[in-house]
Structure 1
Amino acid sequence: MDNSSVITVFTLSGLRGTTNYRVTLFVLTLLCYCVIWLVNVTIIVTIILDKRLYEPMYIFLCNLCINGLYGTTGFYPKFLIDLLSTTHVISYAGCLLQGFVLHSSVSADVSMLVLMAYDRYVAICQPLVYHSVMTTQRVCVFIFFSWLIPLYLVFMSSITTARLRLCGSHIPKIYCINYLVGKLACTPSIGNVIIPAFNYSFYSGHFIFIIWSYVYLVKTSQTSKESRSKFMQTCLPHLICLIILLFSLCFDLLYMRFGSQVSQSLQNFMAMEFLLVPPIINPLIYGFKLTQIRNKILQFLCGKRL
């Protein structure tokens, strides 16, 4: 029998015990979601409207903000509904879709950060060939594959998960991910182990490249005052965003390992930290640190040219 005909809905247990303050949580969550949209849309619109910002670094930043909106849309609307509901369930198809969106958003985030690291590497370490390397056509290809590869890899993982025959419908979290759905399988699947293992290895390679590039960038930036200034202005925001993402993913991994041993409130924070902090902090860091974006936003708010 096909598993979708057996399991039609999943129950989410992450919100148990929140009945007394669910309205407060709803208001705070809605406020956070509005802030996420505000700061990310501000950066996106600023870059789109100003042709002087049509440079690789800003184009990559624009896509990073778009991805932030994409990932949070897979979580917050359903979470807000659950906060006001007495039953916390999600359909089988909705669970797989939510897992796909969240996984692909994190993967695309890493891809964007790799592109931004490569862009800064070429700009600082090989400035004479920067414009010949980072051409418009090449940037478009980079962006295309930074979206396509995560979507494809996570899609294959989701297909493997969807083929599993499930013997349970309880997910001990506030949202669905493929790992937890896979734990409900009646029998283990080789594909459900190999594909995620490949994905983790693939993106671990991304982090290794970023670390290597920044080691080289730090060494190069010490050679001249100009390189040091360029590093502090354009690389430091990227480095902070990377640290925030790593910190957020570590929280989620800690949830997987120690979630059942801590309070439900802390479990929920660890589960949603990567959907809360990076989408808000990343645009703010770039908005304040990058002079051209900051001046453009201030020009719009003040109604005058800076």
Structure 2
Amino acid sequence: MDYRSNVTYITFGGHVEVHKYRYLYFVIMFMVYILIISSNFTIVCIIMIHKNLHEPMYIFIAALLINSVLFSTVIYPKLLIDFLSEKQIISYPACLCQWFSYYWLGVSDFVLLSIMAYDRYVSICNPLKYTTIMQKTTVIISLILAWILPACQFSILILLSANKEICMFHSKGILCNSTVLTLHCVRSRTLSIFGLVNFVTGVLLPVLFILFTYARILVVSYRCRGVRRRAAQTCLPHLLVLINFSCLSAYDVLLPRLELDSPKIVRLIMALQVVIYHPLFNPIIYGLKMRRIYDHIKKLFCRAV
């Protein structure tokens, strides 16, 4: 606590020998950040430029990749500053802001993935009704809801947390995520219930919806051989992204609640997987597995060479 400015500061204790390897950490993470920005924006620009990619599925992919860029921008600049600083600290209001952005964008990803699953369901199972259902207005409303609803959800949680007194000023992590709850003097039942509701509505229900949707697609694909290849080409990348993101999210959500006293190096590796693996995984999967996007990327690099 800084009594002169009446600002509360949180110290990050999750770094491993940061004073010894600070420049190595900085260079590696800076390169990863540039790679994330360039890879995601390359595919987004390809989707924007080429008219044959102006379809709902590719628009939703672009939105998902924009989320990856926003997510990384919330995390990486602060991480890079911490690597070069003597003390790895953050003000409590800034910590709450990072916490909000972290989960807002995370839940937004799940909503977008569920919308994409529905889009594939309509395209494969009801192809004659696809243009009627997935109109431009439907796509715009879906995108707005995918960003607005999670923001409203977590705004309430952040406002409730901002009024809670904190007694712990040392975090075991390297960023502000759900570990913020462990800083409070008293565990709030209201916060726990509201957090559970957010988890069910923002993560569990979208995942169940996606699994149900792809199960229906699998049934149709099994019955009709003509749609098997199309279903595999367009649905497999979404499923890979969902599995990857779900595993990382499960760890992130369960760790502070189970209060696992794991070694610092294990916590650091898992935290880095969340901030590195997911934002890089999305453009790689969609760039390699989506045939149209891959063709445009190949043409782009051939011209560059």
SS at match of 1:11: strand
1:280 maps to which residue?
280
Query: Within 5 A, what are the aligned runs for 1:1-306?
Result: 8-177=8-177, 179-202=178-201, 203-253=203-253, 255-256=255-256, 257=258, 259-262=260-263, 264-303=264-303
Q: How many residues align?
A: 299
Measure, in 2, the Cα distance between the counterparts of 1:294 and 1:28: 27
Contact 1:173/1:268 (<8 A) preserved: yes
Contact 2:120/2:235 (<8 A) preserved: yes
Measure, in 2, the Cα distance between the counterparts of 1:185 and 1:71: 25
Q: Deviations over 1:200-221 (max 9, x none)?
A: 1102111111111111111111
SS at match of 1:10: strand
SS at match of 1:215: helix
Measure, in 2, the Cα distance between the counterparts of 1:157 and 1:186: 17
Segments of structure 2 that go 5 or more residues without pairing to the other structure are none
Identity of matched residues, %: 33
1:259 deviation in Å? 4.7
SS at match of 2:130: helix
TM-score normalised over the length of structure 2: 0.93
Contact 2:16/2:265 (<8 A) preserved: no
Q: Report the residue type matching 2:94 in the other structure.
A: G
Contact 1:164/1:182 (<8 A) preserved: no
1:198 deviation in Å? 0.9
Q: Deviations over 1:169-198 (max 9, x none)?
A: 111110112x33332223333431222111
Contact 1:255/1:267 (<8 A) preserved: no
Measure, in 2, the Cα distance between the counterparts of 1:185 and 1:250: 22
Measure, in 2, the Cα distance between the counterparts of 1:298 and 1:149: 37
Contact 1:99/1:176 (<8 A) preserved: yes
SS at match of 2:261: helix
Q: Deviations over 1:65-117 (max 9, x none)?
A: 00001111111110111111120100122101110111111101101110111
SS at match of 2:90: strand
1:225 deviation in Å? 2.6
Q: Report the residue type matching 2:180 in the other structure.
A: V
TM-score normalised over the length of structure 1: 0.92
Measure, in 1, the Cα distance between the counterparts of 2:253 and 2:103: 13
Contact 1:12/1:173 (<8 A) preserved: yes
Contact 2:75/2:98 (<8 A) preserved: yes
C-alpha spacing 1:259/1:188, structure 2 compared with 1 (3 Å): closer
Q: Report the residue type matching 1:81 in the other structure.
A: I
Measure, in 1, the Cα distance between the counterparts of 2:11 and 2:95: 10
Segments of structure 1 that go 5 or more residues without pairing to the other structure are none
Q: Report the residue type matching 2:218 in the other structure.
A: V
Contact 2:16/2:268 (<8 A) preserved: no
Extract structure 1 runs of 4+ deviating beyond 4 A.
Answer: none
Measure, in 1, the Cα distance between the counterparts of 2:183 and 2:95: 13
Measure, in 2, the Cα distance between the counterparts of 1:182 and 1:240: 30
C-alpha spacing 1:174/1:126, structure 2 compared with 1 (3 Å): same
Measure, in 2, the Cα distance between the counterparts of 1:213 and 1:39: 29
Q: Report the residue type matching 1:37 in the other structure.
A: I
Contact 2:46/2:296 (<8 A) preserved: yes
